[in-house]
Structure 1
Amino acid sequence: MLVLLTANPLVYGQGCSIPLPYTLSGKPDLPFSKTPFSPMAPPFSKHPPGAGLAFSITSQKITCFASSIGIHGITSGWASSSRISTLLLHCSNEDGTARPLLLVTASVDKMVLKKPIHIEADLTIVGAVSWVGRSSMEIQLELTQSAQGNPNISSSPALVANFTFVARDSATGKAAPINQISPESEQERLLWEEAEERNKFRKRMKQEQKHGESEDPARLKALLAEGRIFCDMPALANRDSVLMKDTCLQNSFICQPQQRNIHGRIFGGFLMRRAFELAFSTAYAFAGAAPHFLEVDHVDFFKPVDVGNFLRLKSCVLYTELDNIAEPLVNVEVVAHVTKPEHRSSEVSNRFYFTFGVDPVAIKNGLRLLHVVPATEEEARKVLERMDAENLSLVKKDGNLNVVKENKCTEKTNL
């Protein structure tokens, strides 16, 4: 059961849970498209509570195999409905009319599972606009579970996600200004400041990666040492290690119209779902025991994916974290390629990074994970970049945002 707590007519028009009619061109024929709009209507300020929505989800709706809750169900469907509705509610005018905007997902911040999610309790997703720039905005979603008398379930958020969107004019395709927000309460101002710091942090990290400031030749050489033994003297290689290339999986598919969004392109949540499924399978095949989801790192949407595109997903285990033998971690990369054989081209549309834990029962029974080693400089650089990204996360501590490594919820969760 999905409950949408809003009376905004634009939300119904977008049809979060209602199919939209499509024209022959593949574009949605929106029910409200005949309403007279003011294309250049100036944006105005709103208060964050006015842009908030809440959804209630029956856990049975997103149950996957082995009676567990699928994280792909949360990211691909239900969270997307709430964030789209929140966006439209914020970008609408008070009288229900608004200039038509293309709202495009630019990125998704790291999502860390803070506590186990129980299958017997329903979920609630609350979304609100936390930060607005000139033509971009950030939506924060919180997922909680109702205790319903269960002493094992707390009311604190199980998952917090931040989505960044950019607005484009539907006629010109250029950046379009959007309504601003006026934070009033202490909590609203705090959310704004945290989002502002995240934006600055992302820009700083991109600049460092662009100029190669984080590369360390000594670390690179040390990381490649064991991989070269595998390549040059395989009989003498460490049997507790495996080459990165030997952990790879991939799949390919044609993007179908059923997965398109209201703008006629492939829905970003669908891409996250397919990436998660491949990452889960990769971790499963590597570990030899069922993994459980812990986090997905920052996701950038580099290129749009259209209906009919030939999409290839390639995955590999980048590295394992074996410091805590009882709770080893598996870090998996999934890269999505839009392939066009007729043009002999292949472009990266997304990169996804997932972290999984391993079944603790299997660990107690003697299961041990292998070290993953790179064989080329490109692979080694990729591993170092991910390790640095893991060690440089913004976390609120004592009222301030600090760059530290977040603690993952290693307790077994049915995800």
Structure 2
Amino acid sequence: MASQPIISVSGLRAIVGDSLTQELIEQYIAAYALQLEQRSPVGPVLLSRDGRESGEMICQWVANTLMKYGRDILYANILATPTVGVEILEHQAAGAVQVTASHNPPQYNGLKLYGADGRIINAVQGAQLLEDYQLKRSPKPKTTLGSHSILANTNQRHLEKLLALVDVESIQNEQFKVLLDCNHGAGSKLAIPLLEALGCQITVLGAEPNGQFAHPAEPTAENLESVGKQVVTHQCDLGFCQDPDADRLALIDAEGQYVGEEYTVALCVQQLLAEEPGDVVINCATSRMAYDLAAAAGTRCLESAVGEANVVDLMLSSGATFGGEGNGGPIDPRVGLIRDSFVGMVRILALLTREQRSLKELAAEIPTYAIHKTKISLEGTDAEGVFSDLIEKFPEAEADHTDGLKLRWPNGDWLLVRASNTEPIIRAIAETRTLQDSQELCEKALGR
């Protein structure tokens, strides 16, 4: 029996040769073509992929569908997800399709869709596209097919924007020894020339973007244990670890210890606010470290609902100078409105250079919190009932309904409970001063 594709307002993921079929891709892209016709009636569409073996075939399906509806295709081949956003603006494209399943296992592939503004489509646009897909809506095919051309030098503009963020010469003088783990994803295409331009001595793991992951794709502590050992073996100052489409960055210190993804955004905030104070946006599932850093700099930290598009929406409406998500995804509007692992690299190297301390030392100076995550089945109950029970159970906590239910205590502890968009479950995330307290808070909340 075929598995079910995961289709939501944020994109599509499915197992190749099982639930990911040519018919699925064509129907989904037809709905996207309809949205493009309504929002951006003229202009080419940029098409790219991460390194997964199935990507080239899926790109062909996408291209043929969009060309049928009269769209010219600018094919960039293998490209990091944040670079796609930069290239949309560079070529004045109507939008883009990135063929990627991000951190999902190798048997998966999927689609991320962009607008003419160079960002992933927002929740409203995603909901409309999902409805159009479900109702099998599409534009009328055109009598003249769109064209297909290949882009060259697709990383140059992104590289220039990244280098403009920092004092390149001062970083070059440090001659950092960096272990770069691209895990055979799209990240090597830009990460290698970027780190070389910053004068780093690089040891690269998984440079070839062929999708043959050397370890599970999500950059978690468990999955990066072997990478940490390589950081020590090669006597590197730190390790940069990307997910397959390079919008997330995890950190490893010189002792091979996993610093994690939550610290990526926090360290970027620390580097930036000392030089350019301004408001910061995180999502409501991200560590409160950013709150502490913003408060120390005399600025605000604002919270959005979970999801990259929601963070960007609040950044734009509030005029924030930086944003990000706790999964290692910094968002810097000076470069683009997409999570960007390369932004993390340049800003963290700039911070190390300015402070003249190690990654381990800098991370230790940020107030430490512990996050615990768990989930329960929704069978036999409903999310709103769970939320009501929690408000009654914890009357001393402030309730926030930005995304599900977030309870905040006066001491800074918090608990977020959300219904999954793709499964009949409720997810809970708690952050306190200790892992034991976070675990106990989740157990109290969902021990039903």
TM interval, shorter chain, is under 0.3
Q: Please, what TM-score do these two structures have when normalized by structure 1?
A: 0.27
Q: Which has the higher strand share?
A: 1
Q: Which has the higher helix share?
A: 2
Q: Please, what TM-score do these two structures have when normalized by structure 2?
A: 0.26
Highest relative contact order (Cα 8 Å, sep 6+), 1 or 2?
1
